Amino acid sequence: MHLTKLLPTVVLCAVAHMGFSQDNNDTNVATHPLNVTIPEVALLDVYDANTGFEATDINFNMADATTSGTNSEAGLYDFGALGYTDLWINYTSVTGAGGSGFDVTRQIDVQMETGSTFPTSFDLRITPEAPVVVANGGTVDSAGTVTAGGVALGATTAIGTNATLVSSIESVYTGDEAQGVRITYALEQNGNFADYQAGLYQATLRYTLSDL
């Protein structure tokens, strides 16, 4: 009698197991979707290798550019004595494909922001060098092309107006600190000495990695 009572339980368990077994559509192959999303990215900063931090105040004093010697004059400025180097533009860009099979590219523009002041008949020359990127961070082409000779802000490119410093940027990661595009600042005369006026001039430089 003991075995007779157990039999319905065993049968019930077997039926339950069959209810949770494979469905009628199973084969020796199974598939399911997998999605990967890569968002567009546009990031940059300016690193100052002289200080080891992101760039902040940079000062030019024309008193440091007067020529020396027996016949030196306060107005005989040696513009070559005024310069600032070892700034690096670090940037990351992830782009998508454009129409007709062409890649969409970005560019880095720079300007003196509206509200800045800058001496008349002067230019700030920003000269870029070819990009340097970390291993596997991009290629010579994807890192972009620098503007030959750089750009001049002030008398040449008015305050509030963009000038393109790097173009044709595709997907690239330059890395941080002394990576990316190395730039040098230099003051240049562009106009007549009669336009010079003493004072403290304060400008803010804005770099922009364009959106798509």
**pLDDT tens profile 118-148:** 999 999 999 999 999 999 999 999 999 999 9
Whether the CA torsion 74, 77, 78, 79 is positive or negative: it is: positive
**pLDDT tens profile 202-211:** 999 999 999 7
Q: What are 112's two structure tokens?
A: 């003196």
**pLDDT tens profile 143-187:** 999 999 999 999 999 999 999 999 999 999 999 999 999 999 999
Domain ranges of the chain: 41-209
Distance in angstroms (rounded) separating the CA atoms of residues 212 and 208: 12
Q: Work out the average pLDDT over 177-199.
A: 96
Q: What percent of the chain has pLDDT over 70?
A: 83
Distance in angstroms (rounded) separating the CA atoms of residues 122 and 193: 10
Higher pLDDT, 152 or 9: 152
Per the listing, tokens 């065993």 go with 10
pLDDT tier at 3 (50, 70, 90 boundaries)? very low
Whether the CA torsion 143, 181, 168, 111 is positive or negative: it is: positive
